[in-house]
Amino acid sequence: MDITLHGPRFITAEFGIGTPVILAVGICLILANQLILGTYLLLTGINYIPLLVYMVVIVRKGSASAEVADYMSNDKHYVRKYSTQQLLLFVPLVVFWLAIWQELK
């Protein structure tokens, strides 16, 4: 959805830069003995890895609009679902494990 709203360049920069940065900051904080915040950032950063991979696949295929077409037809339901999914990013490893489960399914 973000690719269609903000464009592939912006989202590629966001995930291409943001994912490694949040992982690096998490590691740096762990090494600086800020274990709780560092671990949280590291594990939350891992959530962004599958999103980065999916973003690369979708941008290369140029299929962003086609992939969100069904969601756009039901705005209220989509907004609620998308908002909930966004909150899952803040729960360490949830998106990572959901992506693995989805790929195995």
Per 3-state DSSP, the chain is made up of helix, strand and coil in percentages (nearest 5) of 85, 0, 15
For residue 75, the enclosing domain spans: 2-104
Q: Which residue, 66, 60, 55, is CA-closest to 99?
A: 55
Q: How many domains does the chain have?
A: 1
What pLDDT sits at residue 67? Answer: 72
Q: Which pTM was predicted?
A: 0.81
Element (H or E) spanning 91, and its range? none
Range in 2-16, 46-60, 79-93 with the lowest mean pLDDT: 79-93
pLDDT tens-digit series, residues 42-82: 999 999 999 999 999 888 888 777 777 666 666 666 767 77
Amino acid identity at 88: L
